[in-house]
Amino acid sequence: MQHTSAIGVLGGYGAVGSAVVRRLHRAGTHPLLVGGRDRDRAEALAAGLPGGGPEAGGMAVDLTDAGSLDRFAARCRLVVNCAGPSYRVLDVVARAALRHGADYVDAAGDDPVHTLLSADGGAARWAADGRVAVLSAGALPGLSSLLPRALAARTPGATALDAYVGGVAPLTPAAAGDVLLGRGPEHGTPAAAWQDGRTRERALAPRRGVRLDAFPAAVDAFPYLSTEAVRLARATGLDRVRWYTVFGGERLAGELAMAWALDTMDTAGLVAAADEDVRRHGEWYGQEFHLWSGTADGPPAARLVLRTADSYELSGFLSAAAALHTLRGEVAPGVHFAADVLDPPRVAEDLAADGAAELRIR
């Protein structure tokens, strides 16, 4: 397979990447190129796709080898990056895509990559070259901002939002690395809330034993105002946002707090803790949003509840959706967050039809 018009999925045999590959193969728009360190695994995934779809192949790619990455990007019309940890990969893959005239979608990326790609006129170069970079096209961040925007679009006069996102799920080493690195002011503020157009620090306390429709058991909810939540508040004009990270087990939250205190980047403890929580409590993930219209007193005017067994499938859904929107010319050239350029109601409808999650809006 020697196409130069392929959709390349880097990290394509991983938890998120394989979910992207399956969806893009079903869409059948372009040949697929599965990239990763292990060529045999990449080729095995490509060979195992159902017949009747676009041609697919595998390729060995080493992110630390610029030549290897360039050879991969040179064969692509669009690169979807699912390799991690994202906060170590940063903008390396995106810049390879731009060098070879390819568009770019990142299942993660987030604020650090957006800053790097936008620095020193970088965003203008993407636009001038007619190329698209879509970042934060995953479950969180990504769907976690698109779904409340979809809810706000159908709720006139929305003023306040409460968000609960998390659950019990295994962690891949790459995902664990992102969890460890995803802290600091460039990511968000613990215990803060958005109130009257600004971040209010130390405004909220953890909530223990909360029962919500998105989760099958009581959960612990820790307030964390992410940069994504701030962008959401500004984009929707909400007066108040209270955002909570949800843990359905005990081990991962404790291990994460210890890892941050020790300032370690060893992911083995987090992976083991997440696995233990799954053994004890099962595997489940949810997002629940409560939206008030007018006064924030009393019950919310609207709610959105998402439930799934696999958050990686959610990330795969949104990355594939962002890729397809880009290929159809529905995203303007430049550097964007997915939630800013994808259509929230359409994404919610497509997610409900996809089967990756149960989605209820009321």
- Distance in angstroms (rounded) separating the CA atoms of residues 251 and 119: 39
246 forms bridges with which residues in the sheet?
Answer: 166, 221
CB-CB contact of 215 with 287 (8 Å): no
Same domain, 196 and 288: yes
Counting the structural domains of the chain, the total is 2
DSSP 8-state assignment for residue 50: P
Residue 8: in which H helix or E strand, if any?
A: strand 6-10
pLDDT score at 4: 67
pLDDT score at 257: 87
Structure tokens at 350: 């497509």
pLDDT, averaged per 10 consecutive residues of the chain (362 residues), comes to: 79 96 94 97 96 92 94 97 87 96 95 92 92 97 98 95 96 83 81 96 96 97 96 96 95 88 86 94 97 88 96 96 97 97 97 95 90
Specify if 217 maps to a domain.
yes
Same domain, 303 and 340: no
Same domain, 21 and 148: no
Same domain, 110 and 170: no
CB-CB contact of 7 with 49 (8 Å): no
pLDDT score at 175: 84
Same domain, 307 and 319: no
DSSP E strand boundaries for 88-218: 103-106, 132-135, 158-168, 188-190, 193-195, 198-200, 207-210
Specify if 256 maps to a domain.
yes
Domain that holds residue 108: 6-137+313-361
Cα dist. 155→108, 195, 264, 304, 351 in Å?
Answer: 29, 20, 44, 12, 20
pLDDT score at 218: 96
Same domain, 160 and 218: yes
Same domain, 197 and 221: yes
Same domain, 106 and 47: yes
pLDDT score at 323: 98
Which CATH number is 112's domain given?
3.40.50.720
Specify if 290 maps to a domain.
yes
